Structures are given as structure tokens and as C-alpha cells.
Amino acid sequence: MNFRYFYILNRHVRFQLCLQLSLCAQLPISNGGLDGSALYLHSEFPFPFRRLHQLSRSFHLSNPSIYADHNDNPCDHVFVQNVHNVDHLFDVMAKIEYFVKNSKTRLPLKLIVLDSVAALFRSEFDNTPSDLRKRASCFFKISGKLKQLANKFGLAVVITNQVTDFVESSDGLSGLRIGNLRCLYSSGRRVVPALGLAWANCVNSRVFISRSDDIVCQERRDDDESGSSLVSGRARRRLDIVFSPHLPPSSCEFMITRDGICGVR
């Protein structure tokens, strides 16, 4: 079972990563995929369908061998479900088992993406002891149900969170050391996970994605609307394994291109 949790600052980056993971799940296991389809639960609107189709075309061209039928669209194996609040999420999770057992698609469901869990709790609870206990209880129920599904059906689960600026004058609870990193920085700002350690302790592996102000390359592209050429910079981003029971501390750098996420040498 894989149950990973991503701290990600920018909504745009979360979408890019989750969309690409949903497509890469279709790759054979020998190529690093799951040989399966993906269920994408999204809580922030609108969903980037246009970007999904763009990535899908690039993915199809890069992996023609896994689509014997030319009419087989990678998008057909990414199932999208919106989630409006915590109660709605519980309703959706209760139906996933039926979906897994009765799905008639060529590729079985092998990946669940929840993007993002923080959005579900943004306005649901107050910062009172009673509501914090209720919130923690919801954390355990959500992670427990997803782990149960992962174990029963051999699924991978990826959940994204958000981060907030670190504003405490001293190292309080949210300033404690988080896994392999003493503290988290992105774009020169110190940040902390939006849902704190209570949620972080519900998952197996924690990964942090940050951004630096360095520009990896300049890319010229055509503006679809005006027909003029634009020059855009590709920011350098970094992925760190913050905590994992089976992976050593490591990191890598990447950038986001028109065709998806690419590593930086």
C-alpha cells in the first residue's frame, strides 16, 4: 500500500502533479506505472479539464504502445469527482468500493487522488477545543477509510495539502521539526502545513514541494488568442521526502513544461 501526502504551496502546481500522476498510473508496472486507472477527487473549482486534455495528448504520443486502439483516450481512464465538503467526501468514499468492484473499464482502478484535503476544512470548523477534536476525528476517519480501500484493493492513495506562512514568534507546535527537514521554505518564505501535525500523522509518507526564485530556462510560445509570441520563464522547483518509513531522505528538482513535469539535471 502506498499512502502519500504532499505539502504543496501553489494550487497550479498541485493540479499539474496530480494530473500527471493520474495519467502515469496507466503505464505498465515495468515502466513505473500501476497498469490502472485513477479516481481524482477535487475540492477546488474549477477543475482544469483543458490542461488534462493537453497532458493527455502528450502522454498518448509518448506512449503509443500501451494504446493498441487509436481511439483509446488516456482521459477515459481518469475519473473525476468533485467534493464540496467533508460530509460529501464521506459519501463519495462509501461508494468507491462499489465502483472498484463493478467498473467495466479496461484498466482497473489503482490510484485515488484527493486534491486538496485542506480545502474541505477551510471553513468547516472553528479554532475551539471542541471543533479541533471534531476535526481530528474526521482526519482519522478519512485516512482510515482510504487506507482500508488501499489495503483491500491494492490501491495507491495521493493526498495534497496546502501550506501557510509561519508567523509564530517562537517555535510552537507548528514550528516543530517535520521529518527530515528542520523547517519548510518556499520562495524564501517559511511555511507550515495547513492542517498541522494532527493530519500529517495520519499518513505514511510526506513529501514537500517548494519553489525557488531561480529561472531554469526561458521558453518562447505562441499566444493562442492574439497570435503573438511570448517568452515565459520556467521556475526551479524542488521535491523533498520529508518523512517515509521505507525511503531514505532524498530530493530532486523539476520544472513544469507544456508536456508536463520534467526533471532538471
Mean pLDDT value across the chain? 84
pLDDT in the model for residue 216: 62
pLDDT exceeds cutoff 80 at 259:
yes
Q: Higher pLDDT residue, 184 or 87?
A: 87
DSSP the chain: -EEEEEEES-HHHHHHHHHHHHHHTTS-GGGTS-SSEEEEEE-SSS--HHHHHHHHHHHHHH-GGG-SSTT--GGGGEEEEE--SHHHHHHHHHHHHHHHHH--SSS-EEEEEEE-HHHHTTTT--SSHHHHHHHHHHHHHHHHHHHHHHHHHT-EEEEEE-EEE---SS--GGGS-BTTBSSEEETTEEEEETTHHHHHTTSSEEEEEEEEEEEEEEEEEE-TTT--EEEEEEEEEEEEEEE-SSS-S-EEEEEEETTEEEE--
Give per-residue pLDDT as tens, 193-218: 888 878 888 888 889 999 877 666 55
Q: Higher pLDDT residue, 4 or 104?
A: 104
Give per-residue pLDDT as tens, 35-56: 999 999 999 889 999 999 999 9
d(CA 25, CA 33): 5
Q: pTM (2 decimals)? A: 0.86
pLDDT exceeds cutoff 90 at 153:
yes
pLDDT exceeds cutoff 90 at 155:
yes
Instruction: Name the pLDDT band for 6 (thresholds 50, 70, 90).
Output: low
% of the chain exceeding 90 in pLDDT: 51
pLDDT exceeds cutoff 50 at 173:
no
Give per-residue pLDDT as tens, 137-152: 999 999 999 999 999 9
Give me the residue spans of the domains in the chain.
2-211
pLDDT in the model for residue 29: 95
DSSP 103-147: --SSS-EEEEEEE-HHHHTTTT--SSHHHHHHHHHHHHHHHHHHH
Class in CATH terms, 2-211? alpha beta
Which stretch of 58-62, 111-115, 183-187, 221-225 has the lowest confidence by average pLDDT?
221-225
Instruction: Name the pLDDT band for 168 (thresholds 50, 70, 90).
Output: low
